[in-house]
Amino acid sequence: MSQAHFDQAAATWDADPTRMGMSKAFATAIVATVPLQAAWSAMEYGCGTATLSFLLAGKLGKITAADASPGMIEQVHRKVVAGGIANVQPRLLDLTDAPPPGERFDVIFCAMALHHVADIASLAAKFAALLLPGGWLAIADLHAEDGSFHPDVAVPHHGFEPEELAAVFAAAGLTGLAWRTVHELERHGRRYPLFLLTGRRPDVSRCDLCGDLLPCPL
C-alpha cells in the first residue's frame, strides 16, 4: 500500500469509529501488560493519526509519533495543537530507508503498521537497537488472514501467525515474548482478530532473579 494512499486517507482517518474502538482496545491491552511510567520516553511507529499515542499520552513522558506519510504527520500536528498535548511529538520517519533517530526509548509501540513493511526482520533489529536496556516493545496487528482485509491493494503480509512473529523478534534479541488476542475488527462484513505481542530488550546490567543492579547479593 503506497504512501500516497495514506496521505490521501489521512484527513478522514479518524472518521471511522471502528478505528477508535480498535485503538482503545490496544491501549487497554498495553496498559495491562507494560508497566508504563510517567518518566518514560516512547515511540509509536507507523502511528497514522496517532490515536493510540493520544490515548497513552497521560501515562508516559515524551512520545515520538512517527510515520512515513506526510499527510498522517500533518494530522498529528493538527491534533497536538488542537488538544494542547505537548508530550506527543510528530516525526516524519521511515526506518526502512532512513537512519534511525539518535535517541533511545523505554517503550516502542506499533499498531496495524507492521503488515505494511516487507522486511520485518530488518525492522525488528532496528526496533531492538532503539530500545533502552530493559525497554519494552508492543506490536498490535492482524492475525494471519486470507487477504480479504485489503481487497483492493497489495500488502506484503496478510497478517501474521503471532508465534512466527515472536520468533522474528526473538532473533532480533528481544526476550519474554508473549501475545494474546485483544480485539476483533469488523471489515467488509467479516471479523478479523487482532493480537498484541510484547517483549523486552534484556537489561544485562540487572540480575535476572531480583532485578537489582549487578553485582547483586544473589
Cell numbers linked to 110: 506499533
Q: Which stretch binds ligand SAM (CB under 6 A): 108-116, 177-185, 188-196, 200-208?
A: 108-116
Which of 6, 14, 5 lies closest to 83 in space, CA to CA? 14
Q: Which of 29, 40, 42, 67 binds ligand SAM (CB under 6 A)?
A: 67
Q: Which is nearer to ligand SAM, 112 or 137 (CB)?
A: 112
- The Cα–Cα gap between 17 and 138 comes to 23
Are residues 110 and 165 in contact, defined by beta-carbon separation less than 8 angstroms? no
Q: Does 47 contact ligand SAM by CB under 6 A? A: yes
How far is it, in rounded angstroms, from Cα 131 to Cα 141?
Answer: 20
Site size for ligand SAM, by CB under 6 A? 19
Cell of 29: 491491552
The grid coordinates of residue 61 equal: 513522558
Residue 68 in contact with ligand SAM, rule: CB under 6 A? yes
In three-state secondary structure terms, 109 is: strand
- Of 2, 96, 122, 181, the one binding ligand SAM (CB under 6 A) is 96
Decide if residue 72 touches ligand SAM (CB under 6 A): yes
Residue nearest to ligand SAM (CB): 48
Enter the DSSP assignment of 129: H
116 touches ligand SAM by CB under 6 A: yes
Contact footprint for ligand SAM (CB under 6 A): 6, 19, 23, 46-48, 51, 67-69, 72, 94-96, 111-113, 116-117
